[in-house]
Amino acid sequence: MWLSRKEEIVNKEDFISYKKAFTEVSDSKLNRTLFVIMFSIILFSFLPWTQTIQGDGIITTRTPEQRQQELNSIIAGRIAKWNVKEGDFVKKGDTILKLTEIKENYLDPRLLLRTEEQIKSKESTVDFYRQKVTAIQNQANALYQTRDLKLEQIKNKINQCNLYIENDSMLLIAAITELKIAKDQFKRQEELYKNGLKSLTELEQRKQSFQNAESKKVICENKLTNAKNELLNARIELNSVEREYSEKIAKITSDKFSTLSEITNGEGEISKLKNQFSNYAIRNGFYYLLAPQDGQITKTIKAGIGEIIKEGEQVAKIVPLKFQYAVEMYVKPVDLPLIALNQKVRFQFDGWPSIFFSGWQSISYGTYAGKVVAIDNSISDNGKFRILVSEDENDTKWPTALKAGGGAKGVALLTDVPIWYELWRNMNGFPPNFYENSKVELKNVKK
């Protein structure tokens, strides 16, 4: 009741704000304003918007030798002198530091000279052994010749013995025939003597002839036996000579092969000494740690003079002066199917001013172009996939003052879509190009 009485007392039209807000003229202006705003929003929603995939990256290089690398000492040693300090620029082959030897096997300052002397001494020994082999071979050749002559002499003697045996055999046959004839004549003469037809003198003569023939037969038999014995002795001598010279030749051959074995061992030792000599010479070169390429010494790990360095221990770090830039960038697994080789990427580098509009790259300023050159097939420890992006040679050159390890924000450019579609996609959490990719897959399936 109190409110109604107040309303009756207060006249609304007396207030200026009421007149401005609820008069017909004010209502028409407000409607037109609201209509213009709504129309502008609707028109704006149909403007093109470039879909992107964003990710943070680090400046690096694709080529391993262009990255920061460690300088390691190949041998153990003691630091004798530093030739550089941190921040110095060096060229390939410049001396970083000098080392001195600490191992007792290499402490001799004339180690190379003494090793070379050992090599020459061993080579002389091998030469002597070669000369010995030549002498042994000459001795063996002389033995072969003497053996052949001796065997030929004995074979000639055997042939003579065979001839003697053949001759004595013929004489024996003749003696046997003569003995038979003499025996028959003696018997006939004896018969004639008994009959008184021959005298005793004639009988005695026939008996003497018979005895002579018998004696001749015995002599021929003895000569034949002696000839056979000489033949047997000659054959025994032949075997003895062959065995004797075989033993001598075998001994000389054994000496020859022993000497050849010594030559082989000597050559092996020479090769070993030459290997040691080469190792010593190469090791002498390791006393100086040289710069592997042009670069800048960024950090020295070891310090001071006289400090001991182990084999393979890191001494310093060097960064190459010239390298081909690339950005190591990580994307979410849901965005990985949308990344392809040679895909365009825009970068904002730390320290370089830029004005960046994600959906309108044409009005962005201070960004640099790149293209995808590598995509990892396995996920990284941070749960994302790593991609490498190199400089686009057809676009603006990247700043030469970029340093490895610097930060970069990358934006991978996809297709152009209306703004309303991009807003609707983000509200639903869909990945870029979701429906477009689905349609392409469906077309491929239908085909």
Interval 342-354: pLDDT, tens: 877 777 777 666 5
Q: Does domain 111-285 have CATH number 1.10.287.2610?
A: yes
The CA distances from residue 96 to 89, 90, 91, in Å, are: 11, 9, 10
Can 50-65+323-446 and 68-97+288-319 be said to share one CATH topology? no
**pLDDT per residue as tens digits for the range 235-267:** 888 898 888 888 888 998 899 899 899 999 999
Q: What is the pLDDT of residue 173?
A: 85
Residue 12 has pLDDT above 60, yes or no: no
Pick the most confident of 74-78, 172-176, 432-436. 74-78
Q: What is the pLDDT of residue 272?
A: 92
Q: What is the pLDDT of residue 43?
A: 67
Q: What is the pLDDT of residue 19?
A: 58
Q: What is the pLDDT of residue 440?
A: 37
Structure-model confidence comparison of residues 268 and 10, the more confident one: 268
Q: What is the mean pLDDT of residues 47-76?
A: 76
Please give the structure tokens belonging to residue 290. Answer: 């040289």
Which sequence spans correspond to the domains of the chain? 1-45, 50-65+323-446, 68-97+288-319, 111-285
**pLDDT per residue as tens digits for the range 296-320:** 888 888 777 888 888 888 888 888 8
Q: What is the mean pLDDT of residues 127-152?
A: 90
The DSSP H or E segment spanning 81 is strand 77-82
Residue 291 has pLDDT above 80, yes or no: yes
Residue 340 has pLDDT above 50, yes or no: yes
pTM score, whole prediction: 0.55
Please give the structure tokens belonging to residue 438. Answer: 């689905």
**pLDDT per residue as tens digits for the range 34-59:** 777 777 776 666 556 565 667 778 88
Residue 271 has pLDDT above 90, yes or no: yes
For β-strands 325-331 and 385-391, DSSP reports them as: antiparallel
DSSP code per residue over 368-394: EEEEEEEE-SS--TTSSEEEEEEE-TT
How many Å apart are CA 229 and CA 158, to the nearest integer?
11
**pLDDT per residue as tens digits for the range 76-115:** 888 888 888 888 889 988 998 999 888 888 888 888 899 8
Third-level CATH fold of 68-97+288-319: OB fold (Dihydrolipoamide Acetyltransferase, E2P) (2.40.50)
How many Å apart are CA 164 and CA 259, to the nearest integer?
49
Residue 447 has pLDDT above 50, yes or no: no
Third-level CATH fold of 50-65+323-446: Elongation Factor Tu (Ef-tu); domain 3 (2.40.30)
Buried b (16+ CB within 10 A) or exposed e, 148-170: eebeeebeebbeebeebbeebee
**pLDDT per residue as tens digits for the range 188-218:** 777 877 777 777 777 777 778 778 878 888 8
Taking the CA atoms of the chain, what radius of gyration do you get in angstroms?
A: 60
Residue 446 has pLDDT above 60, yes or no: no
